[in-house]
Chain A
């Protein structure tokens, strides 16, 4: 995924001002930044959901020139929140995504995608009866079913996710993170807007830090998530530490107490 010099204006106000963005398949790329820094807007521009100036290509084809159904076969998108209009069952929602992908011929995929997100046996439950976290995982399963691997077709498949773990409890956050890492290790590409810096440090291969619609840092977690970068981006004095055992960058609220 390559994007060059992306500009987005919303209501005449520039929100993204000249962002270059790269993401490789086989890697998890996280987009972080303070509220209003343009994370979600950048993701929506990268998926072609909102009009943006600049050049964007996915798997070496220009996104603007590719019809929706062709993109849908190699790329699935999960929005920050999705409202479902009618009383669908979980399984019916997952199959909507499944039908758009290359694995549409394999009827076992929806149930397997639900198993991946820990919702085995939820297929015939009414979607509107689920909790917020369960609903979020239904949409992740829908995205997974859409880009489910097909033997013999090894074009990179992509997941674009806007805060995929925001409504999940810690156990399911870790489950989803491991799932996405596995997806990347199998050759897929993951681009995720993230809110939680510690989770980002744990699972991203590359972290893009945004501030006011510009890229402040774009590097592996250890180089992006530094005390100076984070303090500048979030506009308050913050101190990055290290997680015991792993040595990953970590930010504990307790460490930030101002004496």
Chain B
């Protein structure tokens, strides 16, 4: 604090603002480093650095190296970044909307809803003309996942929120009910599925980045980028909503518009993530929680940092899942659950007294 002539006090940028800025830079560097690490990981004859040197010199890689790098590892890298950012941002936005650090698309059933959409698209899509399916298959899955996510977010908000206050108990219980319902419908669809579809469906349950292709990347990249950027415009509204709907309104925030924007953002980001990677849990709860501890709950810094940390964290989890049982691969959903479930339990434990069961 600096005293100036008329006795007023000029605030310096707060400790938290400085930390948030540092965190952003740190995460950006980490993102680049871990991207390179991820590209270099895996079985290949030519060392990664000599491949890079060849590329920088403007020469062509040999065919196998080129396919491994550009058609296998790069789409997988981009998918991990997009899905990680989407999951973390939708978690942070949902927590802001529900005014609760335990709200997470994976835990309260939004991911299940999106998964049901995707499963329906896979199984029922078989009844569409083959030509159409070839053209629009991955978009159809992404769209169906979005619709499923949106429907479950709206339902959840209706059930769990009353007069701008969300009951945690109702929210978690509604999530369980939703997941059970989705499980039942999925069971019916799985019963109808043929063998190829069954393999696809198993993949949904566990969550994996193994099937990443450029087609899938293209089908979700625009949605994820738009969601992440749009979420930044929600930041002020979510900050206001932290004091309750009435207080937010009196501070000039268009509450209904902010809420609608947040619900759309959560549904679209979760839907895209689920459409290409299935049920990867806990990123949406771990990332915002860590960032709130490090640089405070201000959504203006929380949301961009969540996108970065989500991308870095999922990339890290992907590297673990690829290396821990190499040459086989552990589904990434298992890795994120092992890392994330304890964090969820820890928050629950810390807040046990204020939950009001």
Question: Contact residues of A with B, CB < 8 Å?
Answer: 44, 47-49, 67-73, 75-77, 79, 82-89, 91-93, 96-97, 99-100, 107-108, 110-112, 115, 123-124, 146
Chain B 219-248 interface residues, beta-carbon cutoff 8 Å to A: 236, 239-244, 246-247
Q: Are B296 and A87 within 8 A (Cβ)? A: yes
Please report the C-alpha to C-alpha distance between residue A79 and residue B246 in the assembled complex, in whole angstroms. Answer: 8
The minimal Cβ–Cβ distance linking B40 to chain A, given in whole angstroms, is 39
In the complex, chain B residues whose CB is within 8 Å of the CB of A83:
243-244
Q: Are B252 and A69 within 8 A (Cβ)? A: yes
Segment with Cβ contacts to A, from B3-11, B55-63, B177-185, B303-311: B3-11
Name which residue of chain B comes closest to A48, CB basis: B249
Known contacts A86-B292, A86-B297, A89-B296; is-contact A68 B253 (Cβ 8 Å): yes
Q: Are B242 and A100 within 8 A (Cβ)? A: no
Please report the C-alpha to C-alpha distance between residue A91 and residue B99 in the assembled complex, in whole angstroms. Answer: 19
Known contacts A92-B298, A96-B243; is-contact A108 B8 (Cβ 8 Å): yes
Residue pairs across A and B with CB atoms within 8 Å: the count is 98
In the complex, chain B residues whose CB is within 8 Å of the CB of A86:
99, 101, 242, 292, 297
The minimal Cβ–Cβ distance linking A136 to chain B, given in whole angstroms, is 13
Q: Are A111 and B9 within 8 A (Cβ)? A: yes
Known contacts A68-B253, A72-B252, A92-B298; is-contact A85 B242 (Cβ 8 Å): yes
Q: Are A96 and B239 within 8 A (Cβ)? A: yes
Known contacts A85-B99, A85-B100, A87-B296; is-contact A124 B250 (Cβ 8 Å): no
Q: Are B16 and A49 within 8 A (Cβ)? A: no
Residue in A69, A75, A84, A89 whose beta carbon sits within 8 Å of that of B243 in the complex: A84
Name which residue of chain B comes closest to A93, CB basis: B243
Please report the C-alpha to C-alpha distance between residue A47 and residue B251 in the assembled complex, in whole angstroms. Answer: 12
The minimal Cβ–Cβ distance linking B2 to chain A, given in whole angstroms, is 10
In the complex, chain B residues whose CB is within 8 Å of the CB of A124:
14-15
Whether B254 is near chain A, meaning CB under 8 Å from some CB there, is yes
Whether B1 is near chain A, meaning CB under 8 Å from some CB there, is yes
Q: Are B10 and A82 within 8 A (Cβ)? A: no
Give 1 or 0 for each of B86-102: 1 = CB within 8 Å of chain A CB: 00000000000001110
Q: Are A87 and B297 within 8 A (Cβ)? A: yes
What are the 5 closest A-B residue pairs judged by CB atoms, nearest first?
A72-B252, A86-B297, A69-B252, A85-B99, A77-B250
Please report the C-alpha to C-alpha distance between residue A73 and residue B9 in the assembled complex, in whole angstroms. Answer: 23
25 interchain pairs (CB within 8 A)? Answer: A68-B249, A68-B254, A69-B254, A70-B252, A76-B250, A79-B246, A79-B247, A82-B243, A83-B243, A85-B100, A86-B101, A86-B292, A86-B297, A88-B296, A89-B296, A91-B11, A91-B14, A92-B14, A96-B243, A99-B236, A99-B251, A108-B4, A108-B9, A108-B10, A111-B10
